[in-house]
Amino acid sequence: MMNITSCPAEADPRDRVAGFVSDRGVGSIGGLRTDGLDFLKDIVIKEISEQEPDSVMIYLDRDFLCDHGIDFGRDLTKVMDSMTSEGKRVNWIVMQDLPVMDWQKSLDVLKGRDTQVYFFTTACRQVPCCFKLIG
């Protein structure tokens, strides 16, 4: 199972985002409530694109699930396995929770591969945060 660091404190993420993306381990970064979750997502994605220009970025959202016929965790596991077997680094972008029961268990297939999952959500008191889920 995954290890999640505690909820990050509210802070301006701009001075820490480069280190957050470059660190290949599990971690988290918080943003400012006044900027919101989309601002944090945008600066993290921009940093990923700058540090890993040859990587593939996949937005794991309802459209992706529908386009790939994913209804259950086992379906998600198969798709993730297939998409990370092509030899390119894959960065998964997940906004909020997915409508697939126990979707986090599907991440086990990604361990040991050249991939990272960035999970964006809001912590207590509506602090925007991003967790890296693969260590």
**Cα torsion for 124, 26, 52, 130, to the nearest 10°?**
0
Give yes or no for residue 112 having a pLDDT over 60.
yes
* Predicted local distance difference test score (pLDDT) of residue 4: 53
Of the CA atoms within 13 Å of residue 22, those in its CB half-sphere come to: 6
Between the alpha carbon of residue 97 and those of residues 7, 83, 118, the distances in Å are 16, 21, 12
pLDDT digits (tens, 9 = 90+) for 5-62: 567 888 999 999 999 999 987 889 999 999 999 999 999 999 999 999 999 999 999 9
Is the entire prediction scored with pTM above 0.85?
yes
Q: Count of domains in the chain?
A: 1
* Structural domain that includes position 94: 13-132
Whether 7 is in a domain gets the answer: no
Q: Are the C-beta atoms of residues 64 and 95 closer than 8 Å to each other?
A: no
Whether 38 is in a domain gets the answer: yes
Whether 5 is in a domain gets the answer: no
Whether 2 is in a domain gets the answer: no
Whether 106 is in a domain gets the answer: yes
Whether 27 is in a domain gets the answer: yes
Whether 3 is in a domain gets the answer: no
Whether 51 is in a domain gets the answer: yes
| Buried-exposed string 29-51: b where 16+ CB fall within 10 A, e elsewhere | bbbeeebebeebbebbbebbeee
Q: Which residue has the tokens 């077997």?
A: 85
Mean pLDDT of the chain: 92
Give yes or no for residue 1 having a pLDDT over 50.
no
**Which residue type sits at 96?**
Q
